[in-house]
Amino acid sequence: MPSRYWLSAVGLIAAAIAASIWYGGSSSPTSPPLLFDPVADGSEQPITVHVAGEVVAPGLVEVASGSRVADAVAAAGGSTRSADLTRVNLAAELRDGQQIVIPGPATATSGGAIEQDGSVRINTASVGELEQLPGVGPVLAGRIAAYRDDHGPFAAVEDLLDVPGIGEGKLETLRDAVALP
């Protein structure tokens, strides 16, 4: 009877050795798949963008160079139910260090982008309405609208400094004339 136990023990040990060689000896543990593979897509480095507003996980995200706003929103967990994606250009190409603000529902106004006090809602104003701002003509109004379309709504009046043609002096003349949501 003891020899039968020995044979069973030897068989179990042999099976354990064979299983460890079969499953563990030939390959290293696999890492999770990368969302960004610089070799596969031909780009050099990932870029980092700040996604804020109505997204599931606001903050810094890394996306591949050449990615679009939609990719950054997806990397931030997607948009929330209250996000108003019609006010964001999801197809705009991203650049390193950019901030993307996903707005919530539009607030009710007096019926247009011009407020009762004469201020202009720069995130919803047409080019013609933007021309109502002090010192803003058709060219600068077009630049403001184009920047807003490419980069999303302005979160602060100071964001106007990113528009070509607006410096500190022009910003001071616009500060009290613009309205933000």
Q: Is residue 171 part of a domain?
A: yes
- 178-179 and 120-121 as β-strands: parallel, antiparallel, unpaired? parallel
Q: Is residue 69 part of a domain?
A: no
Q: Is residue 174 part of a domain?
A: yes
pLDDT for the residue 16: 67
Q: Is residue 126 part of a domain?
A: yes
pLDDT for the residue 29: 47
Q: What are phi and psi of 12, to 5 degrees?
A: -65, -40
98-133: per-residue pLDDT in tens? Answer: 888 888 775 444 446 877 677 889 998 888 888 888
Higher pLDDT, 34 or 114: 114
- How many structural domains does the chain have? 1
Query: Domain range spanning residue 165?
Result: 120-179
CATH code for the domain in which residue 154 is found:
1.10.150.320
CA distances, 179 to each of 65, 93, 123, 134, 155 (Å): 34, 27, 8, 13, 11
* Top-ranked range on mean pLDDT: pick from 7-21, 90-104, 145-159: 145-159
Q: Is residue 5 part of a domain?
A: no
Q: Which residues contact 147 (CB under 8 A, 6 or more apart)?
A: 162, 163, 164
Q: Is residue 32 part of a domain?
A: no
Q: Is residue 172 part of a domain?
A: yes
64-100: per-residue pLDDT in tens? Answer: 999 998 999 999 999 998 888 887 888 888 888 888 8
Residue 26 has pLDDT above 80, yes or no: no
- 26-35, 142-151, 156-165: lowest mean pLDDT where? 26-35
Question: Which of 107, 99, 104, 100 is closest to 84 using CA atoms?
Answer: 104
168-181: per-residue pLDDT in tens? Answer: 999 999 988 898 86
pLDDT for the residue 104: 79
